[in-house]
């Protein structure tokens, strides 16, 4: 990771290929530890100076050198735990492949797996974060402003007096107003889904052979509606407070629970053990964050004298109401509905089709997951910048994130296209998963790879739309348009090309959404330099194409798949970087410059 206002590729926030001087602290300002995400107001109220509260403490919206270091550390922690969670996810999929193969049993579990997949998108990764990170960011800013006003108005001699009726705390008020209602709603939804599991399976997979097995698995995985919702709430609150370690570790806990349950119960319960493991993993996700959440919410406020208290100013804070929630939920549901369409279309194909799609998708999306981790860290920065009206800073941050995400995902795409059979063979070909399954899954994975950049752009572009806390229906409309394309293309292609046609429809649909979001963000929320971003991504795509071709030509020359992968992990990045330099892709140039700088620094 690099220095302030720059992403790990070495690009600055001015846009792809630009460089920018590192800003310094204002005169007289004091830089406190970057872990303190709350900002304290200065002597003037925030209404007079939108950035006054940033003068004394460094938070995610500041443009000080401390912020760059904070983001670098947060991104490093997130990356480490994201990789650990992804590796455990692969171990989980390996266990499922080994014990259940690509069969009717594994298909039954994957039908039930739709529930936690939908819940993760709605309640952890997208909707809950898009809704609550801005809300908590506003509440934290209000709490900091209230605290600063109390300190400024209370003499030091009376500040130590106990106050039996302290001023309200905006963060605690937000939790008290939202968490109990959320818990009740999620509990009701969980009970309803358990009761309606037979109807759910019948609608999702009408042609599936073993209906009862899929229903049993669905009832077990339905518990994740509650646990994932609480997990997502905790994650949003902690990220807004600048605590990224527990949220980044939830999938480590989740996959550990699934793997352990499968190993213990697979003999007695069959594939139902995997569904039970999903329920156990969801509970572990909550427990992994609960202690840190309680510490952040119950942080003591300064004690001030009652007789010196100044009434709180009424400030505008985004409401968590239907007008704000509905567009976010519809966007997230439409995004995850890509998977629902796939499983609906594949349910009428021969047994194992759903499993082939699932294994291919899980591996193919790993570059996307890694590419979005820095966007997750910087989301509070974008939300705070937009809340303060600093859209220029938000623009630079978003453009930087898009360039970084494109670099990572396109490099991963090249490796997948070049070495898909070797990747699948090393990861899954054992036990019930045979060579024919490897061949089919690898081909599907290569088709999926065509849509990875689109998936990444949708994940990165969705965040700024909802950062202001104001209702906007454009992302949901764009996602719905892409879903229509997916349904139409998949319906037309499934009879002729089977699972390959379904995967291709997914890539076409999500790419359509990405293009709509990129164009819409630049005209509705942030004035992005769309042409500059498109040119940068096109250069990176050209480098990825050259690297993928080199991988396809070299991969069959080495019979051992593990050795072939080792060679490919060197050849593909080398060709990618060389081509990127040849076409003057700015992200590649800055990445190499940053690497040389770090090496000289170490020496």
Query: Using H for helix, E for strand and C for coil, what is the string for 79-91?
Result: HHHHHHHHHHHHH
pLDDT value at residue 590:
67
Tokens of 218: 């669905």
> What average pLDDT does the segment 14-21 reach?
38
Query: Cβ(256)–Cβ(88) under 8 Å?
Result: yes
Buried b (16+ CB within 10 A) or exposed e, 222-256: bbbbbbbbbbbbbbbbbbbbbbbebbbbbbbbbbb
- Which pLDDT value is given to residue 390? 78
State the Cα–Cα distance between residues 211 and 218, nearest whole angstrom.
11
d(CA 190, CA 50): 42
Using DSSP's 3-state secondary structure scheme, residue 424 falls into helix
Place of tokens 């974008």: 382
Q: Which helix (H) or strand (E) holds 293?
A: helix 272-297
Reply yes or no on whether the pLDDT at 216 is more than 50. Answer: yes
161 C-beta neighbours (distance < 10 Å), count: 13
Please report the pLDDT score of residue 54 as a whole number.
34
Q: What is the pLDDT of residue 578?
A: 93
What's the mean pLDDT in 503-529? 85
* Residue bearing the bigger pLDDT, 201 or 142: 201
CB 409 within 8 A of CB 454: no
Task: Provide the mean pLDDT of the chain.
Answer: 78
Name residue 6's beta-bridge partners.
12
Question: CB of 116 within 8 A of CB of 221?
Answer: yes
Q: Tell me the percentage of the chain whose pLDDT exceeds 70.
A: 74
Phi, then psi, of 12 in degrees rounded to 5: -95, 175
Mean pLDDT of the region 53-80: 53
pLDDT at 183 over 70: yes
Distance CA 35, CA 33 (A): 5
Residue 95: closest CA among 221, 280, 258, 249: 258
Check pLDDT > 70 for residue 109: yes
Residues sharing a CB contact under 8 Å with residue 293, sequence separation 6 or more, in sequence order: 234, 237, 238, 246
- Do 222 and 197 touch, CB atoms closer than 8 A? yes
Q: Which of 52-61, 127-136, 432-441 bottoms out in mean pLDDT, i.e. has the lowest?
A: 52-61
Higher pLDDT, 69 or 32: 69
Confidence bin at 324 (pLDDT 50/70/90) = low
Contact by Cβ (8 Å): 1, 66: no
Q: How far apart are CA 570 and CA 561, in angstroms?
A: 14
Please determine, for residue 8, whether its predicted confidence score (pLDDT) is greater than 80: no
* 324 close to 131: Cβ distance less than 8 angstroms: yes
Q: Please report which confidence band the pLDDT of residue 218 belongs to, taking 50, 70 and 90 as the band edges.
A: very high
pLDDT of residue 542: 94
Q: What is residue 155's predicted lDDT score, i.e. its pLDDT?
A: 54
pLDDT of residue 385 exceeding 80, the answer is no
Q: Give the 3-state secondary structure of residue 27.
A: coil
CA distance 59 to 404: 22
pLDDT at 310: 41
Q: How far is CA 103 from CA 71, 90, 144, 411, in A?
A: 44, 18, 56, 32
> What pLDDT is recorded for position 417?
96
Q: What was the pLDDT predicted at 16?
A: 37
10 Å CB burial of residue 101 (0-12, 13-18, 19+) is buried
CA separation for the pair 246, 316 (Å, rounded): 30
Identity of the highest mean pLDDT range in 89-103, 498-512, 528-542: 498-512
Alpha carbons 109 and 261: distance in angstroms, whole number = 14
High-pLDDT (> 90) share of the chain, %: 35
Q: Are 467 and 383 in contact (CB under 8 A)?
A: yes
* Lookup: tokens for 217: 């698995």
- Region 147-159: mean pLDDT is 56
Say how far apart CA 228 and CA 332 lie, in whole Å: 15
Which residues are CB-contacts of 449 (< 8 A; sequence separation ≥ 6)? 364, 413, 416, 417, 420
Q: What is the mean pLDDT of residues 9-22?
A: 37
Out of 123-132, 161-170, 376-385, 397-406, least confident range: 161-170
- Residue-level pLDDT at 301: 54
- Lowest mean pLDDT segment, chosen from 42-56, 190-204, 473-487: 42-56
Query: In this predicted structure, which of 51-65, 184-198, 380-394 has the lowest mean pLDDT?
Result: 51-65
Task: Spell out the residues 6+ positions from residue 550 whose beta carbon is closer than 8 angstroms to its own.
Answer: 418, 571, 572, 575
- 546, pLDDT greater than 50: yes
Is 7 a residue whose pLDDT tops 60?
no
Closest CA to 544 of 501, 580, 511: 580
**Number of helical H runs and strand E runs in the chain:** 22, 0
**Which has more pLDDT, 14 or 535?**
535
pLDDT confidence tier of residue 397, bands split at 50, 70 and 90: confident
The end-to-end CA distance of the chain, in Å, is: 17
Q: What is the DSSP letter of 514?
A: H
Q: Work out the average pLDDT over 280-294.
A: 94
Give me the pLDDT at residue 559, please.
Answer: 93
Q: Helix H segments across 37-126?
A: 65-100, 104-120
Rg of the chain's alpha carbons, rounded to an integer?
25
According to DSSP, residue 489 is labeled H
């Amino acid at each position: 990771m690099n220095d302030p206002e720059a992403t790990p590729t070495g690009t600055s926030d001015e846009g792809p290929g630009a460089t920018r001087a590192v800003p310094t602290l204002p005169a007289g300002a004091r830089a406190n530890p970057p872990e303190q995400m709350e900002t304290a107001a200065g002597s003037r109220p925030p209404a007079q100076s939108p950035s006054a509260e940033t003068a004394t403490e460094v938070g995610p919206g500041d443009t000080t050198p401390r912020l760059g270091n904070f983001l670098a550390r947060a991104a490093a922690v997130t990356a480490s735990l994201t990789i650990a969670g992804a590796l455990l996810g692969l171990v989980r999929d390996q266990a499922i492949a080994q014990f259940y193969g690509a069969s009717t049993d594994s298909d039954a579990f994957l039908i039930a797996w739709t529930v936690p997949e939908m819940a993760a998108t709605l309640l952890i990764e997208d909707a809950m974060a898009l809704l609550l990170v801005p809300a908590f960011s506003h509440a934290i800013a209000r709490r900091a402003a209230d605290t600063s006003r109390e300190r400024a108005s209370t003499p030091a001699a009376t500040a130590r007096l106990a106050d039996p009726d302290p001023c309200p705390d905006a963060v605690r008020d937000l939790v008290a107003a939202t968490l109990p209602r959320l818990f009740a709603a999620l509990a009701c939804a969980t009970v309803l889904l358990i009761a309606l599991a037979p109807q759910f399976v019948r609608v999702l997979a009408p042609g599936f052979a073993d209906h009862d097995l899929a229903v049993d698995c669905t009832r077990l995985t339905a518990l994740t509606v509650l646990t994932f919702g609480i997990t997502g709430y905790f994650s949003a609150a902690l990220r807004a407070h600048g605590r990224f370690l527990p949220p980044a570790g939830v999938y480590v806990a989740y996959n550990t629970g699934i793997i352990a349950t499968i190993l213990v119960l697979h003999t007695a319960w069959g594939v139902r053990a995997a569904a039970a493991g999903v329920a156990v993993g969801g509970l572990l996700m909550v427990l992994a964050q609960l202690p840190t959440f309680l510490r952040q919410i119950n942080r003591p406020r300064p004690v001030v004298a009652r007789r010196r208290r100044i009434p709180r100013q009424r400030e505008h804070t985004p409401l968590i109401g239907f007008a704000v929630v509905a567009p976010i939920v519809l966007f997230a549901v439409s995004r995850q509905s890509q998977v629902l369409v796939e499983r609906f279309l594949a349910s009428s194909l021969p047994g194992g089709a759903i499993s082939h799609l699932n294994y291919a998708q899980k591996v193919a999306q790993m570059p996307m997951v890694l590419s979005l981790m820095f966007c997750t860290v910087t989301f509070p920065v974008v939300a705070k910048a937009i809340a303060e009206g600093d859209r220029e800073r938000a623009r630079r941050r978003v453009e930087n994130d898009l360039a970084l995400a494109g670099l990572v995902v396109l490099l991963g795409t090249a490796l997948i296209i070049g070495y898909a059979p070797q990747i699948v063979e090393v990861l899954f070909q054992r036990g019930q998963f045979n060579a024919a399954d490897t061949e089919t899954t690898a081909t599907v994975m290569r088709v999926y790879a065509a849509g990875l950049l689109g998936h990444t752009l949708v994940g990165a572009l969705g965040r700024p739309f909802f950062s202001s806390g104001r209702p906007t229906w454009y992302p949901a409309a764009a996602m719905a348009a892409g879903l229509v394309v997916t349904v139409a293309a998949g319906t037309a292609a499934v009879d002729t090309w089977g699972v390959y046609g379904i995967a291709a429809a997914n890539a076409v649909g999500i790419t359509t959404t990405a293009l709509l979001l990129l164009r819409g963000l630049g005209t509705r929320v942030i004035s992005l330099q769309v042409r500059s971003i498109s040119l940068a991504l096109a250069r990176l795509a050209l480098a990825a194409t050259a690297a993928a071709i080199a991988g396809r030509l070299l991969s069959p020359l080495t019979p051992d798949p593990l050795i072939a992968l080792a060679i490919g992990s060197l050849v593909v990045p080398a060709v990618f970087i060389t081509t990127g330099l040849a076409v003057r892709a700015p992200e590649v140039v800055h990445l190499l410059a940053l690497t040389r700088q770090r090496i000289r620094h170490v020496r």
